[in-house]
Amino acid sequence: MTDNGQHIVDVTGLKIKDPLAFETQISQWPGVVTVGVFAHQKAHVCLLGTASGVKTLTFE
């Protein structure tokens, strides 16, 4: 549950063949605030937690 009372659904093992279409379709469902796939707006930086500390990955 978020600070604003929204439910969080965490899904693992999902095979997404077309991330853009998936994100577009799920975003249209009533009540969906965000999808979290980030297919339309790609990340520029990823902070990856590893056994030896945080590793910063950058993308262009």
For 4-24, how does the pLDDT look when each residue is reduced to its tens digit (9 = 90+)?
Answer: 888 888 888 989 999 999 999
Residue 60 has pLDDT above 80, yes or no: no
Q: Which two tokens stand for residue 55?
A: 């590793």
- Cβ–Cβ under 8 Å, residues 39 and 46: no
Reported as type and span, the H/E element at residue 25 is helix 19-27
Q: Which two tokens stand for residue 27?
A: 């975003």
What's the pTM value of the predicted model, to 2 decimals?
0.61
Taking the C-alpha atoms of residue 21 and residue 60, their distance in angstroms, rounded to an integer, is 22
**Domain-by-domain residue ranges, the chain?**
1-60
Taking the C-alpha atoms of residue 56 and residue 47, their distance in angstroms, rounded to an integer, is 5
**Average of per-residue pLDDT values in the chain:** 90
